[in-house]
Amino acid sequence: MAKTAQNPVKSAETTFEVLDALKDLDGAGVTELAQHLGIPKSTVHNYLSTLEQEEYVVNRDGVYEVGLRFLELGAYARHREKLFEIAKPEVDRLAAETGELGNILVEEHGRGSYLYRARGDKAVQVKAHVGTRVPLHTTALGKAILAHMPAERVDAIVDRHGLGGEASKSISTRAELEQELADIRERGVAFDDEERLEGLRCVAAPVLNHDDEIIGAISVSGPTNRFRSDRFREELPQKVLEVANVIELNVTYS
Partner DNA sequence: ACCGCCTGTCCCAGATGTTTGAACAACTGT
Partner DNA sequence: ACAGTTGTTCAAACATCTGGGACAGGCGGT
Handedness of CA 147, 153, 156, 160 (dihedral sign): negative
| 52 lines the binding site for a copy of itself (CB under 8 A) | yes
Q: Which residues contact 34 (CB under 8 A, 6 or more apart)?
A: 40, 41, 43, 44
| 175 lines the binding site for a copy of itself (CB under 8 A) | no
Considering only 42, 53, 125, 168, the residue that binds DNA (CB under 7 A) is 42
Which option in a copy of itself, DNA, none does residue 27 bind, with CB closer than 5 to 8 A by kind? Answer: a copy of itself
Q: How many residues bind to DNA according to rule CB under 7 A?
A: 24
Which option in DNA, a copy of itself, none does residue 130 bind, with CB closer than 5 to 8 A by kind? Answer: a copy of itself
| 8 lines the binding site for DNA (CB under 7 A) | yes
Write the single-letter amino acid at 161.
H
| 6 lines the binding site for DNA (CB under 7 A) | yes
Cα dihedral angle (181, 117, 203, 169), rounded to 10 degrees? Answer: 70
| 209 lines the binding site for a copy of itself (CB under 8 A) | no
Minimal distance, residue 111 CB to a copy of itself, in Å? 8
Which option in a copy of itself, DNA, none does residue 113 bind, with CB closer than 5 to 8 A by kind? Answer: a copy of itself
| 41 lines the binding site for DNA (CB under 7 A) | yes
- Contact, 192 vs 137, CB < 8 A? no
Q: Where are the beta strands (DSSP E) in 129-226?
A: 133-135, 190-193, 200-208, 214-223
Assign residue 61 a region: left if phi > 0, alpha if psi is -120 to 50, beta otherwise? left
Q: Which residues contact 247 (CB under 8 A, 6 or more apart)?
A: 83, 86, 87, 90, 207, 218
What are the strands of the beta sheet with 111-119, ordered from one edge? 133-135, 111-119, 101-108, 214-223, 200-208, 190-193
- Comparison of 77 and 163: residue with beta carbon closer to a copy of itself: 77
Considering only 12, 73, 167, 182, the residue that binds DNA (CB under 7 A) is 12
Which option in a copy of itself, DNA, none does residue 62 bind, with CB closer than 5 to 8 A by kind? Answer: DNA
Taking the alpha carbons at both ends of the chain, their separation in whole angstroms is 29
Minimal distance, residue 210 CB to a copy of itself, in Å? 17
- Comparison of 42 and 125: residue with beta carbon closer to DNA: 42
| 233 lines the binding site for DNA (CB under 7 A) | no
CB atoms < 10 A from the CB of 169, how many? 13
| 54 lines the binding site for a copy of itself (CB under 8 A) | yes
Binding-site ranges for DNA (CB under 7 A): 6-12, 14, 29-32, 39-43, 45-49, 59, 62
